[in-house]
Structure formats: structure tokens, C-alpha cells
Amino acid sequence: MSLLAVRRKVACNGLAFVNSIICIMKTLVTGCAGFIGSTLVDRLLAAGHDVIGIDNFSTGQRRFLDGALSSGHFSLIEGDLLDDVTLGKAIKGCTVVYHLAANADVRFGTEHPRKDLEQNTIATYNVLEAMRAHGVRKIAFSSTGSVYGESAVIPTPENGPFPIQTSLYGASKAAGEGLIAAYCEGFGFQSCIFRFVSILGERYTHGHVFDFYKKLKDDPLRLPVLGNGKQRKSYLYVQDCIDAMLLAMEMAPDKVNIFNLGVDTYCEVNDSIGWICNALGVQPALDYAGGDRGWIGDNPFIFLDTKRIRALGWSPRLGIQEGVLRTVAYLRQNEWVFELRAS
Amino acid sequence: MSLLAVRRKVACNGLAFVNSIICIMKTLVTGCAGFIGSTLVDRLLAAGHDVIGIDNFSTGQRRFLDGALSSGHFSLIEGDLLDDVTLGKAIKGCTVVYHLAANADVRFGTEHPRKDLEQNTIATYNVLEAMRAHGVRKIAFSSTGSVYGESAVIPTPENGPFPIQTSLYGASKAAGEGLIAAYCEGFGFQSCIFRFVSILGERYTHGHVFDFYKKLKDDPLRLPVLGNGKQRKSYLYVQDCIDAMLLAMEMAPDKVNIFNLGVDTYCEVNDSIGWICNALGVQPALDYAGGDRGWIGDNPFIFLDTKRIRALGWSPRLGIQEGVLRTVAYLRQNEWVFELRAS
């Protein structure tokens, strides 16, 4: 049982004295209303932590925080990480930061290059500076397999070849990683940097399953597919992702700890289309845009070597197909997600 | 002879017509008043190019541009790359950008983290956006061997292991590289990214030779040395550096071309101290601070694999010792450099 879980237990028993001594131990989650962020908040609360969440609600959803807000151990701060004052208020008294806030839209990066710079790179700098100002020294960071560009080594290990960035999203996350590592060296921080494959599961609000589901809702007879459908990708179920993050933050020994997070296989986009269509009971004609990439900067083969996180004892409980099916089930029960994005 | 050299020759012969057709072919050099920037400007002018230079004179020196300003083919714009309007004016009509402006102070990064973010990462973003706005598609970028952090592979090739950044300077330059590569993929740019070892030679205004010379001027009997003096570093003479940049920009075939620039050997700091002291005719007691690093984030062994640039036919003309001695000779003839920095 962690110290915080002990405190919660002790506090519940009415020992306010103990509680008052260690009640300053709080966790900040940036991007707390997002798909992964809100799931992490719930897991941290369940594990006995006090959690502060900050979100600018650009893509986050308030209702993802309903449970957290009713827990009595979660405080929500609405604000942007570019606003130093609000960020300072959020971070004050915390001992660890899970920095998940980001512009996670890899596909449309070239339509708004400033967004990746500001929301990913500069926001990460602001988080680090706020940590420094408030004496917070431990950070978890949601990076991405996109930082590898198109790696010459697949499955790609964390120390694979020095990458050449192919997307503004990947570049902005790699820049965030670099800042974090430099702060670890320069200011004695400790970090866990997680390079995710695409994450699936409950509260999923963007990505290929979302897009295909939405298109099939509009027209179950015809499905436009970016590229040739043969792009090979890897996916991870969100609770498996959170398991890995929590474990690594507990156990990782180094100043800078970098972990790929993914399953040990991949699928073709066509496989995923088959699972989704089958789950929805539709048989659309597939209308391929053609080419081996879905968009400029799309990586036609993403598959990460996850030996390092597995060496800590983690392994994912769900495979790709199960993750896709859980996501379809979630979307089916939460079609409000599509309404919100359309507005 | 390049097209621009032909134009200059033709123009000199009075054929103003030809000149007017192609006079829009101009080169922008950012950081034009710096050590390397001003040397590049002179070389570009000598090769027949029209050059626009921009500098905020934070460390640049006006007198480095005396020759350029009297050439009739150089325009100076005083301004900061964070000022989009001034940058837009500078870049208009250019066909290629040599982006050399930077906060090049690796040692004191932790004293002002925002400077590296702004002057290196955000400034590079601004240059790329200005290029996009004005249809400029070719860029040379002065990166650094510091982007490798402490590489597990030495001599370090361009595709060495995915680095973990150890300095804010390295992180900010790596971020600049990532942005440039992403713009190449997303917007059809072409780039040459140069990862320099430390550069030496005429107009050298900061670095270890500068520091040791200055200290020995103040006290020739005692020389404080950061670390244990056994740090192994590699250096390159500035004209060799410019040779490599010009050659690569002429010949590099890919969308993103990354080149290490350095000599094929290294020296110990103690070696360099010996050469400097010998040249100055002093025999100080060496007062080591101790430890294997000069400062937080200092890399105790920098040595780059330069096979890739050598494959284009380049090789450096001067070795490290000759570079150090030329630098000492320059400083001896230009002690005003020390006065300026002291003010």
C-alpha cells in the first residue's frame, strides 16, 4: 500500500493529525478531462491519491470527470497551460505531475503548425518551469511513437536510430521530451517519458475507430479509407496504458526513464475495418484513397519494442482486436461523443 | 560557376538586363553578425551571392560586417527573429535561408531556460513560418553535436542512438531540427542540418580558448580549469565549417540532409591548454575544479563521425591544434573582443 493510500485509510479512520501532516502530497494531471487524462484521474483517485486536474476543455469533456468531482479528492482547474498564473495555482503543493495535456491531432498538423508548438512544446516548458518554481521534481509525460518518424528499425526500441521527424506532432512531442530530459539533468528532476502507440478504449474521442464508426453511421454502405488500408499500426487499451504508467512511476530507477507502451503485435487498417464492420453488422464497399499513407506525415508501419516496460513486470491484458471492440462498444453506448465534436 | 556567380560576373560587365531577371535570387543569413554567420556572409558574397543578413546584436558584432556592408551586395536588417514583421521583411524575395541565429551559450543554460526555448526553438519555428509565407523552401540550419547528449556510440554517427538530452541548449537545437524535418515532410521544404562540434578561428568570441586566454591575460601564473581537464572534445576551423556547409547545400540530394561537421580526431582540454599557454608564452599553475565535467550538462567526450559529409568530397584543411593556434592569434590581434564582452 502506498503512503498516500495509507493516509487515505488513516484519514478515513478519523486520524486528522496524520492527514494534516501529509495532505500536501497531491498529484497534478494536466489534460485531466481528456480520454487518457480522465481515465488516469479515476485510477489515481481509486488508488488513494488526492488529484488536481487542469484542462482547457479544447477537446476534454466535463462529463468524463463526473466521478472524479464527486469523490471529494479531486479539484478541477479550468485553464490553459500557456497561462502561467493558473498553472502555478494548480501545481502548488503537488509532488508529482502527470503531463498529459496536448494537441493530440497528428493528422491535421500542417493546417495549424502553431498549435503543436504552443500546446505541446511551449506548454511542456511551462509545466517544467512551474515545477521548478514550486519545487516539484517528478514528472510523467505522454509522448508518442510518432517521435520515431519512420524508423529503420521495427519493432522500434527506445534507443533506436536518431529519428528524423515526419510530423509536426511528433516534432513537438520530441521537443517536449528533450526539454524534460534537460530539466532532469539541469535541475535534478526525475521523469518517466511514455511513447504511446495509439490508445483505445472507453472515453475514446478521436482516431481511426472514431472516424470509421462516424462514417458508417452516416453511410453504412460505403466507407472511405485513407491510403490503401495496408498501413500497419499498433494499439493499446487505455487501462493497460495506465497500468504501465503507474507501475513505471513507482519503479523506474533512473533520472530519465523512457518507455514504449504498446502491445507486442500490430494489425493492418483493413483488419481493424473488418472488426468494426463486423461489430456494427455492416458490409460497406471500401473506397480507398490509395497510396501507402493516410496523410502527409503518416507512418505506414508503427510497431514498438516494449521489452523495457515488460521488464518491470507489466504486460497488456487486452490485444488489439479486443481494444477495438471495446472502443466500438463504448462509442455505441456514447454516441453523444459524435454530437459534441460536430458542434 | 554557380548561376549567381554568373549573374554577378554578367552584371559587372554591364548587362543590367540579365541582372534584373535574376536579381531576386537572394540568400538570407540569420545571426549574420555572429562568429560563424559573418564568416558565412563574407564567403557567400565572395561567391557572388546577394545576401540579406538579420541579427539582433545580442552577441553579434557590427564590425564583423564592415566588409560585407561595403560590398554593395549585402543588406543588414537589425531585428529579432521573434519579431515576425521584421523577419518577413528580411526573408521576402530570398530563395534560401542559412539559419544560424541562436543562443549559443550551452554552459549557462540553466540560468535562463527561456532563452534557449525562445531564441533557438521558437525562433526556428518563426523562420520556418516566414519561409512558408514567402515561398522559400530551402534551409541550412546550424545544429550541434550537443543534440547527441552523452551518446553510447563514439564517434557518433548522424543515425546514432535516439539521444537523451543533457542540456537546454542541445534540447532546443534538437527541437529546431525536428521542426525543420517536419516542415520538409509537410510543406515540401529541403534542408541541410549541420551538427557542429565547437568551431574555432577568426571572429571567435566565446568558448574555451576565449575563456582561457582571458583568464591568462588577467593572471598568467594561475589558470582555473573546469572539471579535471581530461574532457575530450573535438573542434573545427570556421572556414572548414563554411566549406562543408556550402558544399552540402550545393550537393545534398535528400529532403532532410543531416551532417556532422568536425575533424576526425579529438583532444583533451589539457592538450588545448598546453597549446594556448605555449602560444602565449606562459606557464601557469593549473587549478582544476575537479570532476569529469566542466558544468552541469557538459559532455565529457564529444567526437562525431563525419563520414557522411566526407562522402561529398569535403575534408577539413586544419587540425585541432592549428585551429586553436589561429584562434589565439586572432584574439591576440583583437583584444577588443574581451572589452566588449566585459561591458
Query: What's the pLDDT at A21?
Result: 40
- pLDDT tens figures, A185-199: 999 999 999 999 999
Answer whether residue B16 shows pLDDT above 60: no
Percentage helix, strand, coil for chain A under 3-state DSSP, each rounded to 5:
45, 20, 35
**Is residue B217 a part of any domain in this protein?**
yes
Instruction: Kindly state the cell numbers that stand for A292.
Output: 501507402
Q: Same structural domain for residues B220 and B338?
A: yes
- pLDDT tens figures, A6-59: 444 444 344 443 444 444 369 999 999 999 999 999 999 999 999 999 999 999
Q: Answer whether A171 sits within 8 Å of B181, measured CB to CB.
A: yes
Residue A13 · residue A32 · CB < 8 Å: no
**Is residue A311 a part of any domain in this protein?**
no
Mutation test of the interface with chain B: which of A117, A131, A180, choosing the one with the most B Cβ atoms within 10 A? A117
Residue B145 CB partners (closer than 8 Å, separation 6+): B156, B195, B196, B197, B234, B260, B262, B302, B304
Q: Which pairs with CB-CB distance under 8 Å and at least 24 residues apart come from A213-219?
A: A213/A276, A213/A280, A213/A328, A213/A331, A213/A338, A214/A338, A216/A276, A216/A277, A216/A280, A216/A282, A216/A284, A217/A335, A217/A338, A219/A284
Query: What's the pLDDT at B322?
Result: 98
Mutation test of the interface with chain A: which of B165, B180, B191, B254, choosing the one with the most A Cβ atoms within 10 A? B165
The whole-model pTM stands at 0.92
Q: Same structural domain for residues A18 and A128?
A: yes
**Is residue A286 a part of any domain in this protein?**
yes
**Is residue A313 a part of any domain in this protein?**
no
**Is residue A314 a part of any domain in this protein?**
no
- pLDDT tens figures, B21-39: 444 369 999 999 999 999 9
Q: Same structural domain for residues B85 and B27?
A: yes
Q: Structural domain of residue B146, as residue ranges?
A: 2-200+238-261
Reduced to 3 states, what is the DSSP secondary structure of residue B94?
strand
Q: Same structural domain for residues B171 and B269?
A: no
Mean local confidence (pLDDT), A234-247: 98
Residue B130 · residue B171 · CB < 8 Å: no
Q: Total domain count for chain B?
A: 2
Q: Same structural domain for residues A271 and A257?
A: no
Helix ranges, chain B (H): 3-12, 16-22, 35-46, 66-69, 84-91, 113-116, 123-133, 168-187, 208-218, 238-251, 269-280, 307-310, 320-333, 336-342
Q: Same structural domain for residues A274 and A250?
A: no
- pLDDT tens figures, B241-263: 999 999 999 999 999 999 999 99
ipTM above 0.95, yes or no: no
Q: Answer whether B182 sits within 8 Å of A160, measured CB to CB.
A: no
CATH number at residue B172: 3.40.50.720
**Is residue A139 a part of any domain in this protein?**
yes
Mean local confidence (pLDDT), A99-111: 88
Nearest CA in chain A to B187: A110
Q: For residues B53 and B33, what is the distance between their CA atoms, to the nearest angstrom? A: 8
Chain centroid offset of residue B215 CA: 24
Mean local confidence (pLDDT), B334-343: 76
Residue written as grid cell 573542434: B235
**Is residue B308 a part of any domain in this protein?**
no
Query: What's the pLDDT at A298?
Result: 83
- pLDDT tens figures, B180-194: 999 999 999 999 999
Q: Same structural domain for residues B133 and B214?
A: no
Helices A168-187, A123-133: inter-axial angle, 10-degree rounding: 20
Q: Same structural domain for residues B148 and B297?
A: no
Residue B109 · residue B168 · CB < 8 Å: yes
Residue bearing the bigger pLDDT, B342 or A152: A152
Q: Same structural domain for residues B184 and B297?
A: no
Radius of gyration of chain A (CA): 20
Q: For residues A234 and A155, what is the distance between their CA atoms, to the nearest angstrom? A: 10
Q: Same structural domain for residues A218 and A277?
A: yes
CATH number at residue A269: 3.90.25.10
Chain A residues touching chain B at CB-CB below 8 Å: 109-110, 113-114, 117, 121-122, 125, 128-129, 148-149, 152, 158-168, 170-172, 174-175, 177-179, 181-183, 185-187, 256, 258, 296-297
Q: Same structural domain for residues A24 and A100?
A: yes
Q: Same structural domain for residues B255 and B271?
A: no
Q: What percent of chain B has pLDDT over 90?
A: 85
**Is residue A310 a part of any domain in this protein?**
no
Half-sphere exposure of B289 (CA within 13 A, CB side): 10
